[in-house]
Amino acid sequence: MSVTVRVPAKVNVQLAVGAARPDGFHDLANVFLAVGLYDEITVTPADELRITCTGPGADRVPLDTTNLAARAALALAARHGIDPRVHIHIAKDIPVAGGMAGGSADGAGALLACDTLWSLNSPQSELLSLCAELGSDVPFSLLGGAALGVGRGEQLTPLAVGGAFHWVFAVADGGLSTPTVFQEFDRLAAGKAIPPPTPDPALLDALRTGDAAALADTLSNDLQPAALSLRPSLAATLTTGTTAGALAALVSGSGPTTAFLTKDEETATQVATALQSSGTCHTARPTTSPARGATVVGLDRV
Ligand SMILES: C[C@](O)(CO)[C@H](O)COP(=O)(O)OP(=O)(O)OC[C@H]1O[C@@H](n2ccc(N)nc2=O)[C@H](O)[C@@H]1O
Ligand SMILES: Nc1ncnc2c1ncn2[C@@H]1O[C@H](COP(=O)(O)OP(=O)(O)OP(=O)(O)O)[C@@H](O)[C@H]1O
């Protein structure tokens, strides 16, 4: 038997970052939106715990037990006293180390796939608490849609979204390390007063009403200056997309993927074409949001 789960990427439409905490994390007001780029995780019983990965950037994905998908399978097996020997295959389409929660998606996907394979039927609350142990972004990968994340981003409240938003994601050459971007945030913030992070009511309203122009006016990412400081070339990518007709542009999470919100699908195609031909990114990917969270898409009983 094998089980396949599909998991979306995310963009942070608001990422308000507070001061560094004693445990090394930062308190956040993190408004997550799931977008239609997906990894697919397939789990099959095997003689040993084994990981394979295909797709763009697969050569940069660890195939040992540091992989979040392996850690998820091991954590679920340990919780239930189950033999964790499975083959986990990751069909990657989410940019690796791109600020779109690709590894987190694989962690959430492996958790749901193993839960299904092992017929555990765990309640969602139990899966969400296991996700939070794996990483700050992992609970949202399971949930999908849109949500406000507080604490280090793992404490979620689902948000209503009133319509589809059109995006283009410009994938950069190479990745950025999330801890390094937070460290750069701390360096840039040194000596400044950092207000406690709070969600922007106007942004939550724009999501609720599905108003792309209002969302464009309220997008914000406190990690953007840090990502631009580490990767100055992203400024040219952002300008290319807005010049080509995007309503707004921002760095996705910790970067280096950049996100462009457009008024409709036609403009998204136009912005993607301009970005692709500009040479300021590796690949431009048009897509929509919100997207469903981790979902079982294949159950093969042979
Ligand atoms: C930038 C975001 O993607 C926005 O959604 C997330 O905050 C990062 O979430 P993630 O990749 O799941 O991060 P984790 O695996 O939990 O943490 C990796 C590292 O990022 C930094 N980190 C992460 C989350 C947070 N709220 N504060 C932090 O300072 C810490 O250095 C931490 O050791
Ligand atoms: N399944 C996985 N897929 C990709 N990277 C993984 C995975 N498991 C562990 N990693 C490690 O995590 C690092 C970050 O990769 P990931 O694709 O999750 O970054 P990201 O999308 O920027 O994360 P986030 O947006 O959650 O901060 C990689 O460089 C890799 O070493």
Q: What is the pLDDT of residues 77-110, one digit of tens each?
A: 999 999 999 999 999 999 999 999 999 999 999 9
Please report the atom of ligand 2 found closest to the CA of residue 255.
22
3-state SS record for 152-215: CCCEEEECCCCCCEEEEEEECCCCCCHHHHHHHHHHHHCCCCCCCCCCCHHHHHHHHHCCHHHH
**Residue 271 — very low, low, confident or very high, per pLDDT cuts 50/70/90?**
very high
103 labelled as ligand-binding?
A: yes
pLDDT attached to residue 219 = 98
User: Percent of the chain scored above 70 by pLDDT?
Assistant: 100
- The C-alpha atoms of residue 142 and residue 126 are separated, in whole angstroms, by 12
Q: Taking CB atoms and a 6 Å cutoff, what residues make up the pocket around ligand 2? A: 60-62, 66-69, 90, 96-104, 106, 137, 175, 178, 253-254
pLDDT category, 238, cuts 50, 70, 90? very high
Cα separation, 17 vs 222, whole angstroms:
6
Quote the pLDDT of residue 206: 98
Whether residue 184 is found in the same domain as residue 146: no
For 250-261, the pLDDT digits (tens) are 999 999 999 999
Catalytic site residue from 39, 115, 137, 222: 137
**What CATH number did the domain enclosing 233 receive?**
3.30.70.890
Shared domain check, 126 and 217: no
| Atom of ligand 1 lying closest to residue 138 CA | 12
| Same-domain check for residues 117 and 238 | no
Q: Is the CB of 152 under 6 A from ligand 1?
A: yes
What average pLDDT is seen over the chain?
A: 97
Residue 137 annotated among the catalytic residues of the structure: yes
Radius of gyration of the CA atoms of the chain, in A? 19
Per the structure, how many domains does the chain have? Answer: 2
What does the DSSP 8-state code read for residue 58?
G
> In this structure, are residues 212 and 261 in contact, taking their beta carbons and an 8 Å threshold?
yes
118: left (phi over 0), alpha (psi -120 to 50) or beta: alpha
The verdict on 88 and 225 lying in the same domain is no
65 and 8 both lie in a single domain: yes
Q: Give the mean model confidence (pLDDT) for residues 9-32.
A: 97
* Confidence band for 157, pLDDT divided at 50, 70 and 90: very high
The whole-number average pLDDT for the span 205-214 is: 98
Same-domain status, 145 and 206: no
CA of 107 to the centre of ligand 2 (A): 10
Same domain assignment for residues 38 and 93: yes
Q: What's the rounded mean pLDDT across residues 29-52?
A: 98
The ipTM estimated for the assembled molecules is 0.97
CATH of the domain at 21: 3.30.230.10
Tens digits of per-residue pLDDT, 171-198?
Answer: 999 999 999 999 999 999 999 999 999 9
Place of tokens 């979040």: 68
Pocket test for ligand 1, best of 7, 21, 143, 152 (most atoms within 8 A of CB): 152
Range of the domain at 69: 2-159+291-300
Residue 301 has pLDDT above 90, yes or no: no
**Any catalytic annotation for residue 192?**
no
Please tell me the distance from the alpha carbon of residue 150 to that of residue 140, in angstroms, as a whole number.
11
Tell me if the bond preceding 123 is cis, omega within 30° of 0: no
Atom of ligand 1 nearest to the CA of 183: 31
Confidence grade of residue 302 (pLDDT, cut at 50, 70, 90)? low
